[in-house]
Structure 1
Amino acid sequence: MMEDGHQNAVVDNSLFRRSFLKTGTLTSSGLALGLSGTAPVSAGDEENGDGDSEGLNLADVSYLQLLAYHHRSAIQIGEMALNRAEHQELRNFLEQSINNQIEGLEKIKSILSDAGIDPGCVLDIDLEDVRVLITGIPGEPKPNERAYLKTLEGEEFDLRFLEIFPYHHRGAVQLSKVVLREGRSAEVEQLAQNTIETQIEGITQMYQWYINWI
């Protein structure tokens, strides 16, 4: 048994097998990451993830947690890419992306706090502690893809990055579309809609660069 300070990082692979990737639901995916008992849901709606329409249900909280990991991962990848990218347009894009992810994390914390949930209880898990789950989130680069990118620089890096990173954006779009079906919070719904719009915009831009630079 791990100490209390690390209990949220404990991963049950059997739960993950019932995750978003298998079932299409955000609720069980969040539970696999230690969300059990976190979100304010009524007893009658607990099983299907429905909760108080004025608050957050499990799908909402699961989405916020997974989106936070998505943002933190994007910051890591962006900072790595800034040291290798050749085109100034891509470097500018990465800098703006990092800033957007930081703002997104603050928005997620604000939504959780407003709902009476301590953000630390939901978000304070080291990325490396749950890497096996994070790489299972749609579009999340696998360790071998990250390692490969780190061997490249300049034009070659830019092209390979533009082949991989749009899928990271598509993962956020996929998660956001699910919470639009399963969530109950109007604020989370707006966040998901904004995420879809910005991620699709980024995907389009990256594909345009790829076509121009190849």
Structure 2
Amino acid sequence: MRNTRTLTRRAVLTAVSVTAALVLAACGSDDADSQAGAGSSTSASAGAHNAQDVSFAQGMIPHHQQALEMAKLAADQASSTEVKDLASRIEKAQDPEIETMSGWLTSWGEKASESSGGMDSMPGMDHSAGSAMPGMMDDSDMGMLKKASGADFDTMFLTMMIEHHKGAVAMATTEKDKGRYGPATSMADDIVSAQTAEITEMNKLLGKN
């Protein structure tokens, strides 16, 4: 009887040991597979981009550059403290974004901008406005802004920048919908949020609801 109990106990202990070993082995395999999968997924998502991402960067860089050109005029020509503050914030936000987008294009082996008038085929463009990109000012608009000063400059700057921001929001919305590169779609989301808020702010400064 004692021998039977001993054999039974040994059999149970052996079965438990084998089961535990199998469970540990399975967990180890799952963890390894999970880590390997995570690594490959992270690597792929970080490097993956599509034509929309390229178009977004190539279009938004000159769009931002014109916004900076307009904003820099405010320091000497604006009369409103609110307008000067807004212009300063636009510079601080958009200058780093230009550098970031330029870095993406370099890493992708792409040019900083379309060189053959390709802007016309870019997503989110409004051809009815007669400009290559939505919200962009033409030479005549920029000429008038550069000559304006005081309250006239404030009104002109706000009016133009509202349209400029609306164009940027349209371009960023397209990127959010069709882009593939995570950092680009994330920046696009930031642009939509920030510039939509600034449009509201500028409308209030103009006395509009």
Give the TM-score normalised by the residue count of structure 2: 0.66
Is the aligned partner of 1:95 residue 2:88? Answer: yes
**1:117 lines up with 2:113 in the alignment:** no
How far has the Cα of 1:179 moved from its partner?
Answer: 1.6
Write the deviation string for residues 5-54 of structure 1: whole angstroms up to 9, x where unpaired: xxxxxxxxxxxxxxxxxxxxxxxxxxxxxxxxxxxxxxxxxxxxxxx865
Contact 1:111 1:187 in 2 (8 A): no
In the other structure, the counterpart of 1:76 is 69
Structure 1 residues 144 and 205 mapped into 2: Cα distance closer, same or farther (>3 Å)?
same
Q: Name the Cα RMSD after superposition.
A: 2.6
For 1:179, the equivalent position in structure 2 comes to 175
1:178–1:125 CA distance, 2 compared to 1 (3 A): closer
What is the deviation of 1:154?
0.3
**Matches of residues 45-194 of structure 1 in structure 2 within 5 Å?**
55-112=48-105, 116-118=107-109, 121-123=110-112, 135-194=131-190
Count of aligned pairs between the two proteins: 154
| Shift of residue 202, structure 1, vs aligned partner | 0.9
State the shift of 1:135 in Å: 4.0
What amino acid maps onto 2:100 in structure 1? K
Please tell me whether the aligned partners of residues 162 and 206 of structure 1 are also in contact (alpha carbons under 8 angstroms).
yes
**Given the two structures, how large is their TM-score scaled by the length of structure 1?**
0.64
Percent pairwise identity:
23
Provide the C-alpha distance between the structure 2 equivalents of 1:148 and 1:64, rounded to a whole number of angstroms: 28
Structure 2 gap segments, 5+ residues each: 1-43, 121-129
Q: Would you tell me which structure has more helix in proportion to its own residues?
A: 2
Q: Which amino acid aligns with 2:160?
A: I
Q: Secondary structure at the match of 1:144?
A: helix
The answer to which of 142-151 and 60-69 deviates more is 142-151
> Separation in 1 of the partners of 2:207 and 2:82?
14
